[in-house]
Structure 1
Amino acid sequence: MTSPTTYVLVHGAWHDGRSWNRVAPLLTAQGHRVFTPSLTGHGDKAHLLSPEIGLVTHTDDVVDLILDHNLNDIVLVGHSYAGMVISSVANRVPERISRLVYVDAMVPTHGENAVDVMPLTQVLIDRAADSAQPWRIPPLPEAPAPFGLFGITDPDDIAWLKTTLADESVLCFQQPVDMSNPAQAAIPRAHILCAGNEPSGVTRRPIPKLQPNGTPSRVHTLDTGHDAMVTRPAELSALLLETT
């Protein structure tokens, strides 16, 4: 029997740790250890949202979790914006991470911010600038089918997701990622792309053919919308297990 794996699943912008509610039990049922923290400004930390909350804050959240629980050999998974977070965490504690998995996620290089990786993000920042609280970016609105809310179209799932969403601080999208530690480049990476319908204006940056460690990139595809952890939890869980 293989030894248990420790998974740390990091949610994307506007979401919280509950977004993994359908995935975590499938991993724990296989004997693995799973952590699904809510980043500052979200979930049980929603009351802490402020203009000072940014990528550095969210990196600290995950690093603190890892150190507080003395976690090692981690499969660190990031969805969407959390691709920025896990890249930054890997720079801080590379010796504790066995693999990075980017789930329909931003994949930065050193010094980039979320706007660099996905320029459409600047549109959200510009819209917020005209509001009463220009540092807050509200969740994306529900769109007509087949796009739905973050790729979710089931009415019950949409209603549930709306109860979990919260505003994001502009600084999260403006702070650059630090990937200057050479040790982070050696960590194997895998990518899971959601290939369902995408709204116009959303341009996906191609995954590089080679990982930073020089080996061919591992890219998997799911035929579903952006929030695969809600729409295709079994398939996503199987891919997470496959990457270990």
Structure 2
Amino acid sequence: MTTYVLVHGAWGGGWKFARVAEALRKRGHSVFTPTLTGAGERAHLLSGDINLTTHVADVLNVIRYEGLSDLVLLGHSYGGMVITAIADKIPEKIAALVYLDAFVPQDGQSLFDLNIPANTQMFLERAGNNGGLLIPPPPAKAYFGVNDNDAARVDALAAPQPIGTMIEKVTLTGAYRAVKKNIYVHGAVLPRESPFKRFHDAAKQAGWETHALPCGHDIMLDLPDELTEILDRAGR
């Protein structure tokens, strides 16, 4: 049995992993899908004070209080910032890192540093039109290529993203490099320029296990069976 911790991205929630989590549990695995502060069922805690440090603490506390170790840690999209910071703090507890169409930061970088400049500018403008501290969610289908069956639900459940999560720069010592198994899964079909293709290509060049799947950004919704297989193998 393998333990998985699946970390969602911006405007998301643990609910996005429901299908994959159920499938992994049916295979005998233990799965945790924490919802970050201010998102999903924790949207009542939404605040302009939330930043990357807040979300790193969210997941670290799940790992600590649940007594987890030897785990597969996955981050989707913005969640790549979170899992990298976590791996830098507790590399001894992590057997594998899975970046699911996610940002892969280096020390001193923020999500805004890593994103396509046009995206960063759009997010700043949208936040500016919303009080300056919160970024409203982009439309699921038009922006992320979410499938027709799930797009309306994603739009209905998406909460604004605190801008501090994208502005704060991650501080890394390099300890995360002790995690030897690294996997990158890329959603290769997007209705716009993808900021994630370069991370996939760099991961492939670095010798990571990589996958480019024929779907949009929310791979866990578009191709849950394929993602389950990749994660099942990652735990072996």
Q: TM-score with structure 2 length normalisation?
A: 0.91
Aligned AA (2:202): I
Partner residue, 1:197: 190
- 2:232 maps to a residue whose letter is L
**CA shift for structure 1 position 142:** 4.5
**Per-residue displacement from partner, 1:28-59 (whole Å, max 9, x unpaired)?**
01100000010001122111111110110000
Correspondent of 1:152 among 109, 128, 146: 146
2:30 corresponds to 1:70: no
**Change over 3 Å in CA distance of 1:132–1:234 after alignment to 2:** closer
The answer to whether structure 1 residue 42 and structure 2 residue 39 are counterparts is yes
Asked if structure 2 preserves the Cα contact closer than 8 Å seen for 1:124 and 1:137, the reply is no
Q: Give 1:185 deviation, angstroms.
A: 0.6
* Most deviating of 58-67 and 133-142: 133-142
1:1-244 matches, within 5 Å, as: 4-120=1-117, 121-142=119-140, 148=142, 150-154=144-148, 156-180=149-173, 182-187=174-179, 188-200=181-193, 202=195, 204-205=197-198, 206-209=201-204, 211=206, 216-244=207-235
Q: State the Cα distance separating 1:141 from its structure 2 match.
A: 2.1
Please state how far the C-alpha of 1:68 moved relative to its aligned partner: 0.5
Report the Cα offset of residue 204 of structure 1.
3.2
Amino acid at match of 2:20: V
Distance 1:243 1:111 in 2: 29
Q: Distance in 1 between matches of 2:130 and 2:204?
A: 44
- In structure 1, list runs of 5 or more residues that go unmatched: none
- 1:140 maps to a residue whose letter is P
How far apart are 1:166 and its partner, in Å? 0.4
Percent identical residues? 39
Question: Separation in 1 of the partners of 2:130 and 2:160?
Answer: 14
More helix by share: 2
Distance 2:196 2:211 in 1: 18
Distance (whole Å) between structure 1 residues aligned to residue 171 and residue 205 of structure 2: 20
Q: Secondary structure at the match of 2:10?
A: coil
Q: CA deviation at 1:95?
A: 1.3
CA distance in 2, matches of 1:137, 1:200: 20
CA RMSD between the two structures: 1.7
**More displaced, 116-125 or 93-102?**
116-125
SS at match of 2:116: coil
Distance 1:230 1:208, change over 3 A: closer
TM-score for the superposition, normalised by structure 1: 0.89
Q: Is the 8 A contact 1:149 1:158 kept in 2?
A: no
Are the equivalent residues in 1 in contact too, given 2:3–2:30 (CA < 8 A)? yes
Aligned residues: 231
Quickly say closer, same or farther: Cα 1:126–1:26, change in 2 above 3 A.
Answer: same
Cα distance in structure 2, aligned partners of 1:209 and 1:234: 22
Structure 2 residue identity aligned to 1:224: C
Query: Could you say if the C-alpha distance between residues 77 and 203 of structure 1 is closer, same or farther in structure 2, counting changes exceeding 3 Å?
Result: closer
Q: Assess if the C-alpha contact under 8 Å between 2:17 and 2:33 holds in 1.
A: yes
Q: Contact (CA 8 Å) 2:130, 2:136: kept in 1 or not?
A: no
CA shift in 2, pair 1:201/1:219, >3 Å: closer
